[in-house]
Amino acid sequence: MKIVQSLAISAFVLLSIQTVSAQYGNNGYGGNGYGGRGRMNSGMSQDRGQDKPREIPAEETISKIMLKLKPAVGLDELQEIAISNILLESIKRQGVILKQETNQSDQMKDLQILSENTERRVIELLNDDQKEKYKIFSEESKNPKKSKKNR
């Protein structure tokens, strides 16, 4: 449950950062395109290509998660595919929830329910030993590098 929550929050933060950079980046506020002969033409061609901020594909996010999760929990190929599909479905549903015209508290409740359901579905695929490793992995991903701070 904790890993899915952290994934949901991470995905939301990443998408928010991209939106902010697209709004305040080099799209007219930075002065690019004015005052230089060569820069003006190249700036105009870049602006046409950057009408929308580049969204990180869900598959890319899932592959980064699975790179860490697979060795930490000891997943086999079938488990890896099944969990990847569960996470992909979860990320897509997160996007739908975040685009809904509801207040923030309702969205947070919906995201919490989605997170719990996703974690439950992932845990169902694991054996007892993997469940323990998954809990440890979830705690470590929730509180990264706590052990290194104590040194």
pLDDT digits (tens, 9 = 90+) for 22-54: 555 555 555 554 444 444 455 555 555 555 667
Q: For residue 110, is it within any domain?
A: yes
The answer to whether residue 39 is domain-embedded is yes
Confirm whether 125 is domain-assigned: yes
pLDDT given at position 138:
84
Report yes or no on 150 lying in a domain.
Answer: no
User: How high is the pLDDT of residue 36?
Assistant: 46
Q: What confidence score (pLDDT) does residue 144 get?
A: 72
C-beta of residue 118 within 8 angstroms of C-beta of residue 90: yes
Tell me if 128 is assigned to some domain.
Answer: yes
* pLDDT confidence of residue 146: 54
Q: Is residue 79 part of a domain?
A: yes
Per DSSP, the three-state class of 137 is helix
CA distance 129 to 151: 29
Q: Which residue has the higher pLDDT, 58 or 84?
A: 84
Output the pTM of the full model.
0.60
**148 in a structural domain:** no
149 in a domain, yes or no? no
Judge whether residue 123 has pLDDT over 90: yes
pLDDT of res. 151: 46
* Average pLDDT of the chain, as a whole number: 76
| pLDDT value of residue 89 | 94
Question: CA torsion sign, 73 to 78 to 81 to 87?
Answer: negative
Q: What is the CA radius of gyration of the chain?
A: 20
Provide the pLDDT confidence category of residue 68 given band limits of 50, 70 and 90.
very high
Q: What average pLDDT does the segment 60-73 reach?
A: 91
Which residues span the domain enclosing 125?
A: 2-143
Greatest C-alpha distance within the chain = 66
The total domain count for the chain is 1
Ranges assigned E (strand) in the chain: none
